[in-house]
Structure 1
Amino acid sequence: MRQRPTAPEGLAPPRWVREAVRESSRTGRVLDHGFSDAQLKSVWWTSRLTEAGLADGTSPMITFPSTREDGTAVLTRADLFAMSADLRSKGRRGRDEQWLQFLWHVLAWGSGPSRRNNRARIDAFADPVTRRDRIGYLREAAERVWKEDVRGAYGALVEPGRGRIPGLGPAFFTKVLYFLGGDAPQERRAVRCLILDARVATSLRSCGWESLPKGNYNWFTDTYVSYCGLLSRWADDLSVAVGRTVEADEIERALFAGPT
């Protein structure tokens, strides 16, 4: 049986990760992390979704609820957390269209200035017959996330060699899982779903997790669970070192940015 890469026992965060967390607040580094309309090009999203029969073309499909100090409207992590909180409050009453609206915003934010492969992701929901099943996968994953079941959440969207939804591999669907987890404070520390993409994996290999495959990869469920557990442990350790509560997504953000 092929070995499933998990984090080396005792792996510690490197100095540059510790310094990144120490030198910035979570609000500035994580929650305010976003992109403007000039970067995400909402016109493209509205046009493409209309072509796929998923919009009527009369209103923008990507919105920018936050504003920077210079007046620029942006879509941030905090905005996506707010959208996911609304979905969670509705539970099973949430309409399919609301789930898709959340997905388009996560995909737009996750792509940043690039719209690479998003045409295929949109097309995966164009057919009304398969659309319901695929939204059902998102709902199933959300139920697992809300029960703090990292393994079950990842497993709901992955199949051997590919994601269950065409075009939506782990590098992107872990973004969906992460935002579905919400941003409400918890009474106890829990391992939560986090974003794992090629840039984060590259940084982790430089930190000593050498068994992680290179590039965007359909990671084993064991690998993803191990990754989320590793960053949760690092967050606990850094909370003591920094003297404040450090969240695991602060470390993910530092890993994404890489050493400076």
Structure 2
Amino acid sequence: MAGSLNDISIRIPHTMKTGAEAEAEIRAVRKRYDEWTWKAAEELNRRFNDREIAGQLRAGRYRAILTAPLDEARLMMYVEIAELQDYFRSVANRVRAMQERYGRAGAVRYAVLDTNTTLHFTRFDKVPWQKVFGKGTAVMVPHVVVDEIDTKSYQTGDKKISRRARGVFRLLESVLEAGPENATADDGTPVFIAADEPGHARLPVPDDELVASALRLHQPRHRSADPCPRLGAACTAPARHVPGRGQRTSPAGTGTGSRRARAGRGRTAATRTEGIRRILPKPGGTSGRERLVNERDGQGRQERADAVDREMAARLLPGPVVRALGRWWEVNASAYADGTPGAHSVRYTPGRWAQITPWPSALAPTSASDDVALSRAEVASAVADALRREAFREALVGAYVWGKGKRGTPGGSGPATLHKILAFDGLDAALAAAVTALREQGASQAYAALQGRVPGLGPSFFTKFLYFTGIAVPSAHGPRPLILDRVLSRRLRRMAAAVGRESGHDVDGSIAAWVWSDGNWSPHRYAVYLSFMHAAADQLAADEGWPSGAAPDLLECALFTTAWDTSG
């Protein structure tokens, strides 16, 4: 496939000449590109269960290339082919990483956790799974368990249970932040969260849903030489969704509970039993070039996601959100009078981070045992100072500590995870590459430079690093980086779901849940987020209930802490 892409790329003229011969040359290259996408999509659909992989070949830009004036088509082909090459390299790397990880694990049995087990017994990351159940054990947390734990963290009258639930949920968050190739218990046992797919209808009784999740692990595998489920159903490892360029790169779920289930080789709950639907119709149709099809409305999922994005870009913030943000500003105007969230502070306990080095001198010394406030402005100053000295680790520490606040404990996902991140040999190179990409190419390229590069460092935290770096290092292209985490993604998901229902592009909210997942968003999704937030900030600036010169990060800060209802 890469060879074919390269073959097309080298045939594209570097400059647009005039005359019939030059036009014929471009038309020939465009025809070759069209034919290649057709054949490649058919081949990908034979090899992979996830039809969105082939869907990348004929997304929005494909149609523009076929209909645009020849010179514009030439330029767009350059961009499209470069992005496709990057995308398929990432897919190949992901498949190889999963083969290596789960091949070592053997995946001969799964331990399926339930809510009671995760709340009332030994922490699942401390259990010696390989010793208790034998070599090849993997731990699976069903999505329904994560939701139950999330609910118990705030909807119970028992403060002790709520406190335990919040602790377990933070532990599950650390599993998500580690990424699918790196999430393990202390003994190296793979841990994964089997996220519900968009549109999945749960059974009415949570215990029944949990058992169903375990039974799906036990389904007989299909005969296939494909290396991994959802990419190919023959792998013994848990299923993982490989996203489109505009989508997440790993499941974003969290889970519920615990029954141990012995399972043979098979697929997880993330792998649907519906069978494979083709992105493209089989050859023999009248035109041979029908549009991507979807089981419900004749429109592919990626196309529907693009349509929802366009609608959101056109509509921006709905009335209820604008009014809620106006109320937020009335309360917080004095704190953020300069139109920035620089005064936004969190509290942390320096003594809990004693194991972390290098430690920014602008932060309170780790010998301090009392809680200390740390503002965005202070972190921005510390990061700028560190970047001037190319002390990238120090800059990351400042952003990470501010992001965790008091949630970090010596044995938890704060200091312990950061210590592992700092121990990664390639950390300096990855951070330096991201800073360079931000300065020379833009925020989404900087995001791509960090995504999946550092074990344990997920986008919820590396976007904090990019955000503070962006204050000190202006980008030559595009909008300034902003923080994107689970809370903000859920805010965007809610708005996207409303827009999808009203426009008819996403009547059940499945597209909104897919693109605005709980983590591991793609560089394209991050670019969509930045574009929306900067445009929405301009929208608010024209509203009398919002400061006219406010920065986009003030909107990010406000959305993080603001709730609204549809009644406005």
Q: Does 1:245 align with 2:245?
A: no
CA displacement 1:77-123 (0-9 Å, x = unmatched): 10111123224444xxx2xxx32222112111101211142312321
Residue identity matched to 1:74: A
After superposition, the Cα gap between the structure-2 partners of 1:88 and 1:183, relative to the gap in structure 1 and judged at 3 Å, is closer
Q: Does 1:33 align with 2:340?
A: no
Residue identity matched to 1:254: A
2:471 alignment partner, SS class: coil
Corresponding pairs, count: 228
After superposition, the Cα gap between the structure-2 partners of 1:11 and 1:165, relative to the gap in structure 1 and judged at 3 Å, is farther
Cross-structure match for 1:102: 395
1:217 to 515, 519, 542: 519
1:64 CA drift (Å):
4.0
CA distance in 2, matches of 1:88, 1:167: 22
CA displacement 1:5-26 (0-9 Å, x = unmatched): 5634223212213443566236
1:125 to 422, 425, 430: 422
CA distance in 1, matches of 2:372, 2:349: 12
After superposition, the Cα gap between the structure-2 partners of 1:256 and 1:145, relative to the gap in structure 1 and judged at 3 Å, is same
Residue identity matched to 1:177: L
2:521 alignment partner, SS class: coil
CA distance in 1, matches of 2:541, 2:477: 12
CA distance in 2, matches of 1:185, 1:244: 22
Instruction: Name the stretch that deviates more: 20-29 or 142-151.
Output: 20-29
1:66-145 matches, within 5 Å, as 74-90=373-389, 94=390, 98-115=391-408, 116-118=412-414, 119-126=416-423, 130-131=424-425, 133-145=426-438
CA displacement 1:205-230 (0-9 Å, x = unmatched): 22235514466311111111000010
CA distance in 1, matches of 2:496, 2:457: 28
2:496 alignment partner, SS class: coil
- Which protein, 1 or 2, shows the higher relative CO under an 8 Å CA cutoff with sep ≥ 6? 1
CA distance in 1, matches of 2:474, 2:362: 27
Q: Does 1:155 align with 2:455?
A: no
After superposition, the Cα gap between the structure-2 partners of 1:153 and 1:60, relative to the gap in structure 1 and judged at 3 Å, is closer
CA distance in 2, matches of 1:189, 1:239: 22
Cross-structure match for 1:69: none
1:258 CA drift (Å):
2.4
1:30 alignment partner, SS class: coil
CA distance in 1, matches of 2:352, 2:362: 10
Cross-structure match for 1:170: 459
2:316 alignment partner, SS class: coil
Kindly report the root-mean-square deviation, in angstroms, between the aligned alpha carbons of the 2 structures: 3.2
Cross-structure match for 2:287: none
Do the aligned partners of 1:117 and 1:167 also contact (CA within 8 Å) in 2?
Answer: no
CA displacement 1:123-164 (0-9 Å, x = unmatched): 1322xxx43x21111111112223360121110001xxxx21
1:195 CA drift (Å):
0.6
Residue identity matched to 1:196: L
After superposition, the Cα gap between the structure-2 partners of 1:151 and 1:215, relative to the gap in structure 1 and judged at 3 Å, is closer
1:184 CA drift (Å):
8.8
CA distance in 1, matches of 2:446, 2:474: 20
Instruction: Name the stretch that deviates more: 145-154 or 228-237.
Output: 145-154
Cross-structure match for 1:181: 470
Residue identity matched to 2:400: L
Do the aligned partners of 1:45 and 1:62 also contact (CA within 8 Å) in 2?
Answer: no
CA distance in 2, matches of 1:21, 1:105: 27
1:107 alignment partner, SS class: helix
Residue identity matched to 2:413: N
CA distance in 2, matches of 1:169, 1:249: 20
CA distance in 2, matches of 1:60, 1:229: 32
2:407 alignment partner, SS class: coil
2:538 alignment partner, SS class: helix
Do the aligned partners of 2:383 and 2:469 also contact (CA within 8 Å) in 1?
Answer: yes
After superposition, the Cα gap between the structure-2 partners of 1:216 and 1:135, relative to the gap in structure 1 and judged at 3 Å, is farther
Do the aligned partners of 2:541 and 2:549 also contact (CA within 8 Å) in 1?
Answer: yes
Do the aligned partners of 1:84 and 1:182 also contact (CA within 8 Å) in 2?
Answer: no
Cross-structure match for 1:226: 528
1:112 alignment partner, SS class: helix
Give TM-score, length-normalised by structure 1: 0.75
1:29 CA drift (Å):
6.8
2:374 alignment partner, SS class: strand
Give TM-score, length-normalised by structure 2: 0.36
Residue identity matched to 1:164: R
